[in-house]
Amino acid sequence: MLIDGHGRSVSYLRVSVTERCNFRCQYCMPEKPFSWVPKENLLSFEDLFLFIKVGIDEGINKIRITGGEPLLRADLDKFIKMISDYRADLDLALTTNAYLLKPIAQKLKDVGLKRINISLDTLKPEIAQKIAQKDVLKKVLEGIEEAQKVGLGVKLNSVPLKGINDEEIIDLLEFAKSKNMGIRYIEYMENKFAKDKLQGLNAQEVQDIIATKYNFKPAGRVESSPAHLFELDDGYRFGIIDPHKHDFCEDCNRIRLTAEGMLIPCLYFDEAMSIKDAVQKGDVKAAANVLKEVLANKPEKNKWGADDENEISQRAFYETGG
Ligand code: SAM
Ligand code: SF4
């Protein structure tokens, strides 16, 4: 079992396989970065897998592949198979924008992927174009449909933004509900890479909008998940992720690994340690030591909270994988 310096049990590893993306979402990567990490600096799947094995042996039981856009990385299915073959009962999930999903969904399911989170901020093509700065909606919806068709568990992630998609909160809820999928609204997290003047809706504002049409009651949280759940009268549940509240961090169970091999203890902060040397030498013990050191220094909480007004993270979401 992995325990961090604040006594929290850590069992969830998010692995970003690339920082590159085919979208330019306003809240994440509105402009192409000045330079991408050169391909030769990326860890190979074999190197990432060596670390993943160390993590699993030490107590990681949930892994999410993310990015940038993870489906841009060639042979992702082979990587997923490596992980799934090592520990079939792992909770193995992917977060994607779904633009490239349709042709590969079946393969991903076949190699052991269990669940998929898909970012969907709008059901209107012109708003999708505005947010992602590309005409994306048709392919995203096709990807969602195919993922469900092949039997992957699908959940939607949505970032409500003032003046952009805030009139679609209920439409998105009804879309997810009609398709028997979960939806989680994620409060916009301020970061220095996002477009200027972007303003997110907070958790209360999202609830107030949904309350104009539906009755719902709080339904707690799934253990260590950052989402607060709410239940409609008919039993359908939606979630809201509220990183601006401090209970978000109280039982944080996750760490993040970037495509370059930086192990990040907290989404907000810049601090990280490299596992690159250790895995490239095949040194399992050194990799385990980096993991333990990162956990010992995992911050207690982020700085998006109400007491930290105007704080913005210096970390790029496309690098950490959200
Ligand atoms: N490209 C994939 C996607 O969009 O689903 C995976 C990577 S993306 C960084 C992971 C998640 O982070 C997405 O659900 C996205 O909406 C969320 N995200 C990115 N930037 C964010 C921000 N500034 N605030 C809140 N959520 C953000
Ligand atoms: Fe790309 Fe995902 Fe970031 Fe949008 S949120 S720019 S799809 S990495």
Cα 19 to Cα 124, 153, 209, 260: the distances in Å are 27, 25, 34, 9
Using an 8 Å Cβ cutoff, are 44 and 78 in contact? no
Sorted by sequence, the CB contacts under 8 Å of residue 34 that are 6+ apart come out as: none
pLDDT for 309 equals: 59
CATH of the domain at 151: 3.20.20.70
Secondary structure (3-state) at 25: coil
Q: DSSP string covering 186-242, please? A: EPPPPBTTSPTT--BPPHHHHHHHHHTT--EEEEEE-TT-SEEEEEETTS-EEEEE-
Task: Work out the widest C-alpha separation in the chain, in whole angstroms.
Answer: 58
Q: Which ligand is nearest to the CA of 132?
A: 2
pLDDT for 246 equals: 65
pLDDT for 255 equals: 93
For a mutational test of ligand 2's pocket, the pick from 14, 17, 27, 29, i.e. the residue with the most ligand atoms closer than 8 A to its C-beta, is 29
Regions of the chain where pLDDT drops below 70: 246, 306-311
pLDDT for 244 equals: 83
pLDDT for 271 equals: 80
Give residue ranges with CB within 6 A of ligand 1: 21, 27-28, 66-67, 69, 95-97, 119, 157, 159, 186, 188-189, 191, 194, 317-318, 321-322
Domain membership of residue 115 as a residue range: 2-320
Give residue ranges with CB within 6 A of ligand 2: 21, 23-25, 28-29, 67-69, 97, 119, 317-318
Q: How far is the CA of 282 from the centre of ligand 1 (A)?
A: 32
Q: 77-130, pLDDT tens digit by residue? A: 999 999 999 999 999 999 999 999 999 999 999 999 999 999 999 999 999 999
What's the mean pLDDT when you consider all of the chain? 92
Q: How many structural domains compose the chain? A: 1
pLDDT for 308 equals: 59
Sorted by sequence, the CB contacts under 8 Å of residue 215 that are 6+ apart come out as: 232, 233
